Structure 1
Amino acid sequence: MKHQKNVTIKSKTKEKGTMKLNYKKTIYVGLAFLLISMFWQAYDAIIPKILIDKFGLNQTASGAVMALDNVLALFLLPFFGYLSDKTNHKKGRRTPYVIIGTILAAFLFVGMSFVDNYQTKKIETETNIIEKYELVKNIDEDATKAEWGIIVLTMDESSYKTSMANLLEDYSLFDKLSKDDYNTIKDHYYNYLASHAWEETKASPAVFIIFIVMLFFTLVMMSTFRSPAVALMPDVTIKPLRSKANAVINLMGAVGAITSIILLMILGVDKYSYVNYLWAFVIVGFIMLMMLAIFLYKVDEKKLVEEKIKLEAELKIVDEEENQAHDQMSKAKFVSLLLILFSVFFWFMGYNAVTTKLSDYAPKVLNMGYATPLLIAQATAIVGFIPIGIISSKIGRKKMILFGVVLLAVCFFSASILTAKTGILLYVVLGLTGIAWASINVNSYPMVVELSRGTDVGKYTGYYYTFSMAAQIVTPLLSGLFMDNFGRTILFPYATVFVIVSFVTMFFVKHGDVKPEVKSIIESFDVDMD
């Protein structure tokens, strides 16, 4: 979400009576952002598991698919944002895109569930993958060589079977495996199952092609209305109140994400593989359409825009920065800008790798569901925004970011040493991760736009999102490549390294750290939730 420029209000008599945010109106406007966030949370949780477990893609290939939405976003978000700026429709400039995009995305998303269900039935009836999966889905570090040996005997001849048998040769019959060998042998077995699913996919590629085509068009439809939905809030809110309104919009997004997480927990599809996701797809699609219906019933875009323009005229709100000279940026500030942007790139490289791969990692490495840890991370981030906003105003943005980066690195390193026996500690680790990420997110974007001048805020916002989205394109592929070659347990060490690098680049930043204004409690939530 964009932070707004400074304004002057040349009306003293009406300021107190009219300068209040209409929270109810803003909440209804935020329903569009709620359904967007709900979709992405469900998408990021479900789609990687389908690609890996049911179609047999390796980590690199599934990472490429998961990066597709960010590739599309680089081109489609600015395009549809520009297109909506030029639109003149009886429903307004933004609403038509929200209507069309939501309806088509919801139906396509639900349609993907039927393709997934068909592929699941093929695996059930034409392979023994699920029976083989049942042998290991609850196995932990206490399993002995004898138990693993029985599992190896059930396997078809393959390089995975050979590697597992060779690894077991170093142990006596009732010995437990070391942590590293346990992770390696379990990883080999899951890759063995995925290879069987891939053989099924290659033998009958039509199902996979249909799924990818539907996924592609779903992503396109989601891209058609994200920028218009985000732009709607500034369209209907006067400048001095946009910070508070932006906070409400982001809270609505958090509610949407938490709704998806709770849904996956209730349906019990967050821990095991080869489950039926039909109801998860259908319910998410249905809620999207319900939120759209309420949005259309309560939000009259043209009327709200007219009310906002009238209020601006009454209050004589003047944008002081429209006429500011655009001074050339000094070399020192330019270096700081680059360091901040590279810091953004590096910490997104670490963080997004974890959020993209956790739904595959948690069940297969820690024998636990991924929904509850994600829910805790979201909750602690929301709770943390208020004290983080207060502390940042006292000690400065850079120090708060460095604190968040250190805490994030510690969290990811701690997660890397967890096992199935100690996996319950992931709840604590991701709870602290939520606080760390909030500490970074609250302050990083303002530091970027602090270096802008006048009407350049939009351009600097573009810089920020270019670097963050570039990381989100690269890291699913790169982390997948590492996981394919070194096993799933490389995920958190990989993330830790990139977060540490971001500390180094951030440490040398010298500009953009002015003391923020004191904010109300609700304004402490004014961050980008992505």
Structure 2
Amino acid sequence: MKKVHAPTDYHFRLQDGLLGAQMLFVAFGALVLVPLLTGLDANVALFTAGVGTLVFQIITRGKVPVFLASSFAFIAPIIYGVGQWGIAGTMCGLLAAGGLYIVLSILVRIFGSGILHRFLPPIVVGPVIMVIGLVLAPVAIHMASGRTGDGSAWLVPETTAYIIAGIALTVTVLVSLLGHGMFRLIPILCGIIAGYGASLLFDLSGLTATLHASFDPGDLPNWTGPALISMQKAIEAPWLAIPNFTMPVWNLEAILFIVPIALAPAIEHFGDVMAIGGITGKDYVRDPGIQNTLLGDGVATSVAALLGGPPNTTYSEVSGAVALTRSFNPAIMTWAAIAAIILAFVGKLGGLLSTIPVPVMGGIMVLLFGAIAVIGIGTLVRAGTDLMQPRNMAIVAIILVFGIGGMTFDLAIVKLGGIGLAGIIGVVLNLILPYSVHD
């Protein structure tokens, strides 16, 4: 008798290959955005997203229809880490972040999910997420105005940059607000395409060269040129190439800086799993269990770090596509993972992505980093947190000022600061501060 598969059962079929590729298309803009912003290799990110998704499926026994790819929560620490310790040293910290996920999954397995809410309540997680977004605000403005991420030199004349960044930002916002069907799920990709297209028009019309001729760089180094887009890297890139994998190198300072940041996305993982469960009508918190989904996320992140890729997380865009297409079969995500791995070996793709002008990315970053901060605010609002209560006010205030202000502690063998310090301080304050007599 032929077995009848429920819509949510894992059922690998050749005819689902195109649908899987469509799921990757939905995730593509956000997936490659992280490596493009942080200096990592986009082809490596594609490979580790595919491998990470397959690892997640193995650990969760193919029960959850999610796709794992580059996490926005780690953009700030990766940008800082690559500047301080290089890619290899930063990967050591990201490998440890994946290890933290694994430890948390073990704690949940032993003590239940309540243990995380005890140590990481919204009053800690919310402001840490806000810090992750807000600490990057200057980088977004610098790139949107045509400068390097640290603002130290000009890459594109300011007037040109603001126009291109404005086009990318406007299209991203409008698609997210007014888009229908699949377009509503790919606002970032639409913004990148619009900004890139506008840049091509500027170059072809001669407007880029005209604005460049009248540009005054002031006291900053001037690395601008008469064209926004140079196809040289795309032309020189081979059609097929092994991604530029990078192995981690031990760095204790990177570990202590990055690991606390993983606390916030680890908690957000719960919301992601519950969201996809609401879409499919299945309780994934119970089966395969939140401890296994968290373990799968952690192992996927560790594998990514071992190869030089960004940490993985479940993608809400893909969950939205699952809801839109009613494609609940988890095997479709296997096809998406296979497509990502295949694309990772297309050298021309990485070369083409490297031609995207800085202002295009800067315009999207303005929305992206602000949205991360809003997610942190939403975490507090959904929890009904009373910020006027003295204990809550103290925790949130100290996390925000330490994180955004750049507080650092030099502990002789290691320097702890920024977002990582803010996360640790938040956890400690939540554990030691007493409730007032009026609570």
TM over 0.5, yes or no? no
More helix by share: 1
Higher Rg: 1
Normalization by structure 2: what TM-score?
0.28
Which of 1 and 2 has higher RCO (CA within 8 Å, sep 6+)?
A: 2
